[in-house]
A and B are shown apart, each in its own frame.
Chain A
Amino acid sequence: MFDDLRDLYQEVIFDHNRNPRNFRVMENADRQVEGFNPLCGDRLTLFLKMDGDVIADASFQGSGCAISTASVSLMTEIIKGKTEQEAEELFKQFHEMTTGKDEQASLAAVGKLAVLAGVREYPARVKCATLAWHTLDAALKNERKSISTE
């Protein structure tokens, strides 16, 4: 019945929505930033534990739609063990994949995050997928204030 949506709602997205990874409050986090999408009311808090410039641990709390929950869940998995610079580079590629011109090149660069490429066709949903990454970007820049997609 929802054949048209198969690219947007891939099974991996349903899986991460049902069982989000790293969904917990982190005690003694080095960075903690709140992200907010006023359009739909999605709210998340991202926690990072740093080891020098390496992201030693990442977790989140909050509520959102399937796309935003899957996006932040996948992100916390993929950024663990990455340096700040590598994570920023991934953000750039992810952004390119969801909104940019060079979809193919970025698809190769983002690995398993490619399951979120379907949002390109749904402009109203792009922000659901990118909220996690904008929040990460703020956390890496050590901005402790809340960030918003609007």
Chain B
Amino acid sequence: MTNFPVAKIRADFPILAQKIRNKPLVYLDNAATCQKPNVVIDSISHLYRHDYANVHRGVHTLSVRSTDQFEAARIKVKEFINAASDKEIIFVKGTTEAINLVAQTFGRANIKAGDEIVVSRMEHHSNIVPWQMLCQQTGAVLRVAPINHKGELIYDEFEKLLNDKTRLVSIVHMSNALGTVNPVRKIIAVAHSKGIPVLLDGAQAIPHMPVDVQELDCDFYAFSGHKLYGPSGIGVLYGKQALLEAMPPYQGGGDMIRKVTFEETEYNVLPYKFEAGTPSIADVVGLGAAIDYLNEIGMDAVAAYEAELLAYATEQARQIKGLRIIGEAGHKGAILSFVLDKIHPHDIGTMLDSLGIAVRAGHHCAMPVMDFFEVPATARASFAMYNTKEEIDVLMQGVKSLIEVFG
């Protein structure tokens, strides 16, 4: 392994140093949510203890302090994904809300009966259902690009779906169920050549690789704070300024207005136009702390270390008889989804839990993916920068043991 400072990083995550069922915790459910370092926990606690008040409201000192920290976090997000302007960073609850926001504002304004929206077969339900709802509201049609048995997008088939009725491509950057990383630069380039904007669901990609929205040239990028070692309940919608300016607001309320009378309301400027109501202030500040923490480590280093973890886990898993990896794309993030002959994933999950190992067993909110691979569910070990090779050994030994027990 490289010189990645994993021991030092682990020491920053207090939850990891505990026993579950008398065994050291091996937390491998990071694709569902990541654990939080001290700096994130402390930043939230510090805000509530010393600096908390509502933002963008008062002239009093605490409101100014809260507002400063809140807006400083917006700049941190902007720099983290290299957006052109902090006006392009909209705080939302999470990836799900970000996608719903685009569907209900950009979508309602630009997508009409007979128009088409293109997604892929490997989408999370949160990048399927908002578009189905929009289709029901407008009479638009959802088109689904197929995948192959390695869990890769069939690019040629995807490209064929793009036509003069296509109004949006909304596609996952990295699949939560398979680990597949999609060729998003190519996808965006071909869509743009036909004048079609692209939304990337970045919920899984953001904690595993550097993301530069200007370099990608995506039109929207959605992600959640809780998968980025930040708090739950906070997420980000990035949108190109010109698109956001042209979109109608999302929710109505305080903070998103400039002037209200009963005859007429004038909306606020970006990004506040899309941030009605008191936001999740402490969670935004916590997200900013998570980004500072990741910047110190460096996303390139994180990506390189996790690639080693995944390669090691994949090599070990392939040696286990009766284990089938679901998702073997050429370009993958640190997710190992698998099934075992005649042993249901739910039993795998319970048995591994008894050894202190947390994996996810289920359909991973991607039922169409399960249908494609003809499995009811999979067991999924998903890695983060604080996981170790030794933990992968514990996982593999656990899997071998439970195969013996089931016999």
Contacts and interface: CB of A to CB of B under 8 A. Distances in A.
Interface of A: 1-2, 4-5, 8-9, 14, 17-18, 39-43, 63-67, 69, 122, 124-125, 128
B401 A65 contact: no
Interface of B: 21-22, 343-347, 350-351, 354-355, 361-363, 370, 376-377, 401-402, 405-407
Contacts of A43: 376
A128 B406 CA distance: 18
B350 A8 contact: yes
Given A40-B362, A41-B377, A63-B376, A2 B347 contact: no
Query: Majority SS of interface residues in chain A?
Result: mixed
Nearest to A127: B346
A76 B345 CA distance: 24
A39 B347 contact: no
B370 A1 contact: no
Contacts of A41: 362-363, 370, 376-377
A69 B21 CA distance: 26
Contacts of A5: 350-351, 354
A55 B192 CA distance: 64
B350 A40 contact: no
Contacts of B344: 40, 42, 63-66, 69
User: Max chain B CB contacts within 10 Å: which of A18, A40, A69, A128?
Assistant: A40
Contacts of A40: 344-346, 361-363, 376-377
A63 B363 CA distance: 14
B42 to A, nearest CB: 32
Query: Majority SS of interface residues in chain B?
Result: mixed
A4 B407 CA distance: 18
User: Max chain A CB contacts within 10 Å: which of B345, B370, B376, B407?
Assistant: B376
User: Max chain A CB contacts within 10 Å: which of B22, B362, B370?
Assistant: B362
A2 B405 contact: yes
Nearest to B367: A41
A2 B402 contact: yes
Contact of B354 (A4, A42, A67): A4
B275 to A, nearest CB: 33
Given A14-B406, A43-B376, A65-B346, A4 B21 contact: yes
User: 7 tightest CB-CB pairs across the interface, nearest first?
Assistant: A41-B376, A65-B344, A65-B346, A41-B377, A40-B346, A4-B354, A1-B401
Contacts of A66: 343-344, 347, 406
B229 to A, nearest CB: 25
Contacts of B345: 40, 65
A66 B342 CA distance: 9
Contact of A2 (B22, B354, B362): B354
Contacts of A125: 346, 350
A124 B362 CA distance: 12
A27 B288 CA distance: 63
A1 to B, nearest CB: 5
A4 B401 CA distance: 14
Nearest to A124: B350
Contacts of B376: 40-43, 63-64
B153 to A, nearest CB: 24
B125 to A, nearest CB: 11
A43 B371 CA distance: 13
Given A40-B344, A41-B376, A42-B344, 15 more contacts: A2-B401, A2-B402, A4-B22, A5-B354, A9-B347, A9-B351, A14-B406, A17-B406, A39-B362, A42-B346, A64-B376, A66-B343, A66-B347, A69-B344, A125-B346
B402 A128 contact: no
A76 B363 CA distance: 28
A1 B355 contact: yes
A66 B402 CA distance: 13
Contacts of B350: 5, 8, 122, 124-125
Contacts of A122: 350
Contacts of A63: 344, 376
A2 B23 CA distance: 12
